[in-house]
Amino acid sequence: MCLADEIKRRNNVKIIGKGQKTLLLAHGFGCDQNMWRFLIASLADNFTIVLFDYVGSGASDISQYSKQRYSNLDGYAQDVIDICDALQLSKVVFVGHSVSSMIGAIAANKKPEYFSNLIMICPSPCFLNDPPDYAGGFETQDLLELLSIMNKNYIGWANYLAPLVLGDSNTHEFMRELSGSFCSTDPVIAKTFAEATFLSDHRHLLTDINQPTLIFQSQNDALAAVTVGEYMHKRIPHSKLSVIAADGHCLHMTHPNEIAQIIIEYLQ
């Protein structure tokens, strides 16, 4: 098996559609490519869509997981770059949910020629508060306690986090799916990814993003407030902020038609 085929198998890469412009969809923490299914229905007629699972998530090859590589977001960004290499992609539109927004920014900083645009759904460059200039939403101790619960009661942690992520107004079906997705991830891998997600600070990258960037923020999001989107919009040079009247952190699942329409109009 050649290296390109190994990468496609490793990351469970799938390609849908035959549009001239390619969208690379990158799932968030505790999720997999299946979470994009509601958005794909509206986008497949207009674009070629590349789906994948980060190593350690979904149907990826877990034997390729390395705690050293994936202890920070750079390892996940290398997954993205590897996939672009394997598929010989250039000028791709990177669509990232949550932490994948910053993973995409890291990848675009390393290989700018691979990416024409970044689209960020409910992003946060830093979940930690840094007063007086930045409100990430959480104190360090709060996040450390959340991570500690993962060790003591992983199922309980998943059942607690799912409604926090989705918002109380969204369906129990989505909450069960998200909780189940969290639970299906190896706890050791999940904790390492959680630490890389919630304890990192990538605010310094924002001013270096040269690709035109569309930022989606939910009006009521317990993980990333509108002020976080406004902070990013001010610092990313060629950015547009779209605030959606919605609850929760998963707009691609709860408001797929609205998100898809804005993406289509933006890229046209």
User: Could you give the residue numbers annotated as active site?
Assistant: 98, 221, 249
Q: Cα-Cα-Cα-Cα dihedral of 124, 229, 259, 58, to 10°?
A: 0
Cα separation, 58 vs 63, in Å, equals: 13
Contact 208, 235 (CB under 8 A): no
| Residues 6+ positions from 119 with CB-CB distance below 8 Å | 93, 94, 95, 96, 213, 214, 216, 263, 266
Pairing of strands 48-51, 14-16: antiparallel
Contact 207, 233 (CB under 8 A): no
Q: Cα-Cα-Cα-Cα dihedral of 57, 176, 194, 116, to 10°?
A: 60
- Burial code (b: 16+ CB inside 10 Å, e: under 16) for 214-239 equals bbbbbeebbbbbeebbebbbebbeeb
| Per-residue tokens: 43 | 């986008």
Contact 149, 137 (CB under 8 A): no
Segment holding 203, helix H or strand E: none
Q: How far is CA 252 from the centre of its chain?
A: 11
